[in-house]
Amino acid sequence: MEVGAVASMRYVRDGIKAARLVMQYTQHTMLVGEQASIFAISMGLPGPTNLSSTESLEKWAKWKESNCQPNFRKDVSPADSCGPYHPEHALASGKITCSMANLDGLNESRPFIDRRNHDTIAMAVIDTMGHIAAGTSTNGATFKIPGRVGDGPIAGSSAYADAEVGACGATGDGDIMMRFLPCYQVVESMRRGMQPELAAKDAISRIANKYPDFTGAVFAVNKDGAHAGACHGWTFQYSVRNPGMDDVEVFTVLP
């Protein structure tokens, strides 16, 4: 139950190190934005650093040339441009109309969430004393709306650990997955006696039942080292290493 997180942090390369500093040297759980960057640099991390690369700048330029398509906006006008955007149902007076939620949106396809456009790394470690730690680091979703925070820094969503039970890590469409806290669900299911495989499949199926087109995966490991994974919308791989192994072993999980 010791947690540290940062989000929307610019100019500092090692977000996961900054998150650990929050856990070690503050009584807070999460710092965000410019103040997170200032904190991280003040605690000794290198910065401010320009984190743009030639590749990322080229990708961004091509995206702008394509009228900022695809993006994560919905029900806005103009839909096929780089904005500025306005609610699609705005009245001429400038007031906004309210309507019932579009339930069909639950099944809306999000085709640009895949392994090629996000870079989440989640990891769980069990030491020789039985302590368990879990962590996640990510740049988030490509072409996200500025200010967006995904599941990476949300305890219980992208990672969760309890030394009495085990741990979990997750990756995929974080905007959807964080609504379900899948890693919290996995650990609590194992606490109630589920084996890692069943706990992982149960957490993924809860999301898929509401969002059939979502893409994501989790891995689960209990305190004894038994592990498994589950996924939806893609073929997922995770790696394992323990003292009895000569090298890392990669496990492939089918949807």
Q: Which of 172, 119, 171, 117 is nearest to 142 (CA)?
A: 117
Rounded to whole angstroms, what are the CA distances from 41 to 19, 69, 123? 12, 35, 24
Name the active-site residue from 26, 29, 54, 120.
120
SS3 14: coil
**53 dihedral zone (left: phi>0; alpha: psi -120 to 50; beta):** beta
Beta strands in the chain (DSSP E): 5-7, 30-32, 76-77, 86-87, 121-126, 132-137, 159-162, 166-172, 216-222, 227-232, 236-240, 249-253
26 carries an active-site annotation:
no
Active site residues: 120
